[in-house]
Amino acid sequence: MNNKVRELRGERGWSQGDLADKLDVSRQTVNAIETGKYDPSLPLAFRIAKLFRMTIESIFQPGKD
Amino acid sequence: MTRLSKTQYDLRVFAASSVYVALVIALLPHARHAGDSTLRPIYALVPVLPLLYIVWLLGRRIWQSDELEQRTHLIGLGVASAIVGVFSLIGGFLAVTKAVPQDTAPMLLIWVFPIMLFSYGFVQWWTARHYGGGCDDIDGLPAHYRFIGLALLFGIVALWAWLGKADASAAVVFAGFAGAFALTALVFALRRRRRIGSGEE
């Protein structure tokens, strides 16, 4: 799955640690989501979307597989 | 309950492990030679208390983990359980067929918990690396500090065994572990130094 989390975080000038604190997850998890190594659960995806005031599908798009 | 940082967790586990080693060294010889049989189980079981504290810390850490961390813990514990299960089965067969000396069989049981912790720690670390890892190393104690701690603990036990409280072969085994951990610490320290030098950290 592709996502725009890194881009959206960068626009707001947040570090990975800042975003991790806001989402109540570890920095490792933010890093794994941004690099596409981990797809978040639906509840976490909703928290990310709510934080960025966007819809889930505008942040996460299906990948080639 | 506040979430434990990785460094807090590492330091508490190391402190509990040190207490465990101290209690084993201080109490185990008394357990073997205690005249009063009611004291023997007390001498033998008191060292287990710090291990129970480690189990509680581990449970607390997993409980407070996020979804990705819980996945890495689950994989680590699953693989560790399989390794310990196979190890126990092999030990059981060797003991039943008397392929190992009778007094060696109980020693196999003592190694179950350490092997479980080591394999869990390694697999959890390896799985975290698969997901990008790195952050764990930054948040927690650097890996070479952890291995230096292990080398010190095993070194102390080896010295204790060498000084006559246990047999010489046990001293050699523990010294071997201490040396292996010291070498691993050196490798991790050099890797970290190289990463810092290249600006990756």
B162 or A35: which carries more pLDDT confidence?
A35
Q: How would you label A9-38 residue by residue, b for 16+ Cβ within 10 Å and e otherwise? A: beeeebebeebbeebebbbbbbbbbbeeeb
Assess A65–B contact: CB distance below 8 Å, yes or no.
no
Delimit the domains of chain B by residue range: 142-201
Q: Is the pLDDT of residue B149 over 60?
A: yes
- Report which residue type is found at B144: H
Q: What is the percent of chain B with per-residue pLDDT over 70, rounded to a whole number?
A: 91
What mean pLDDT, rounded, does chain A reach?
92
- Give per-residue pLDDT as tens, B6-60: 788 888 988 998 898 888 877 877 777 777 678 888 888 898 999 999 999 999 9
Structural domains in chain A?
Answer: 2-53 (1.10.260.40)
Any idea what the Cα angle at residue B117 is, between residues B130 and B88, rounded to 5°? 110
**Which H or E element spans position A43?**
helix A42-51
- Confidence (pLDDT) at B98: 86
- Confidence (pLDDT) at B135: 44
Tokens read off for A43: 């509840």
- Confidence (pLDDT) at B139: 61
- Report which residue type is found at B6: K
Give the C-alpha distances (Å, rounded to integers) separating B151 from B19, B179, B182, B192.
15, 7, 5, 19
Task: Give the pairing of strands A60-61 and A2-3.
Answer: antiparallel
Whole-complex ipTM: 0.88
| Residue tagged 């000084």 (tokens) | B163
Q: Do B139 and A27 touch (CB under 8 A)?
A: yes
How far is the alpha carbon of B111 from chain A, nearest alpha carbon, in Å? 32
Q: Is the pLDDT of residue B200 over 60?
A: no
What mean pLDDT, rounded, does chain B reach?
83
- Report which residue type is found at B161: A
Any idea what the Cα angle at residue B104 is, between residues B99 and B109, rounded to 5°? 110
Assess A62–B contact: CB distance below 8 Å, yes or no.
no
**Chain A residues whose beta carbon lies within 8 Å of the beta carbon of residue B133:** 28
In terms of average pLDDT, the best of A49-53, B13-17, B20-24, B114-118 is: A49-53
